[in-house]
Structure 1
């Protein structure tokens, strides 16, 4: 029977587990052989003639209890009981069935005794991903978080129902969802990381997840993080858009200042100025000047409108300042600009 863990065992831990294992078996005649097949799997071949089949589960439960009692704060264990070796079931097949049984912890978690091998109908990760991915992609475009989570849960249920001992195939299905999510984040300008670079990082992260539930939670957590960032970005754009709209409506107000704009868009002056600069690359005052100059250019087409009237119409009380501002921005005085139209 194999026992597994979720952290790397050192030599001291391995020896401690072997001692607990030997003590739990008690009668040495019960075990023909036991030892580690690799760093995290302890195999035990037991003599079925000295132990009734009905006793195997009870021995496994007692062993699991003992392991958890002594090492449960550091390690997680699961035990798988394989089929009995016989002329029709070679020893290597019996060992493989035990290995397949204990791998069920990927689907159900550690801390359990597994005796039934996975079903004969295997989970086809490629087919499942092919079915879910298009809907997942569309739900992202629709910004439907509830549907996205439902699709992830659908994939999880199918994987748990038709569990595959080759867990990397299952991980790959979730990996494909994460890559689609990354493409969505790039489209929304939430990340600038190249997909080829992100692919390696995501696969490494997925490869370190030990259970189906942790895979599901990892994907859901990433979806929530992306949408949280997207909502914040949308909210930021809305706030900046509100500032722009207010300036376009009130550019003729001679009392228009960053403080009056902040007060009327329900933002603090310092926050508004910092946010606007960050999102647009220009200051609020620079944008205000741009709006006023564009309006001035329109009014200059009306040749009967005097320059001081244009200045007043765009919220500037000093005609000389208007001329200076206009030339600084265009390289021409208002009069020169008008002559060239």
Structure 2
């Protein structure tokens, strides 16, 4: 394998194109790590197809996306364009999303509370680049796992749509409180035990419930109290977010459970538009919303567990597969690119 050392600035550059309006807008908020963002329409700097987008706020989140379309982006999303004919854009994307590059990106960032990456430092990042044939061979090894990730992600989304449709066609059975459904409030702990540096135990705050993980526990004596398949609800800050796939320590959410009602039925009920409206109608506060009173008003839908349990189990299983696939891809990048 013929290998030559380069600096990132010898491969391409960060581009700032003209302002355009696009229905495919990418910001630091809607970007996810290595996954297509949840787009929304807005004006921003243009980005072309096959560019590498990087959220430059809190680099340790490793929000890097290879664009499969053109669109607009916010200023804190960097757009890197590969210009060197000896480099393939997809290969450089895998290099940039790798652990080694991300550690360099985080180490050279500026600021403490909300660190920002240093573009000049990134352009001086050194790495070894194989010839085009070997780059393509490595891409061919990783790509099937990436395609499988997209397929599974789409399947998970379709199951969620099915949950919503089942809820829409279901009648209200009664209020949750009348079925002894338990709302267990999370426990706030000493801030010195919480860090924004990733560790083994996720601290479940409102951001985590919204799948934007930003806090972890650094005290090994504190044990996890939430497992995959448990139902966590946010009634503070961003109210009405429901998550069935968190594992960690519950700090700011409500863990919803029952000895008699299956989690699948509780989950489908909570994401229903009627319960969403109840939480909104019972919210208080102007800047930071709270909807604690809605606990007594939330309703349980009349759903047969045979109709939904298998779907719920399948969604949890597929979400676990995504974790395994991410680990496999991460390992392949470490083996073949570093």
TM-score, normalising length: structure 1: 0.25
Q: Which structure has the bigger radius of gyration?
A: 1
Higher helix share: 1
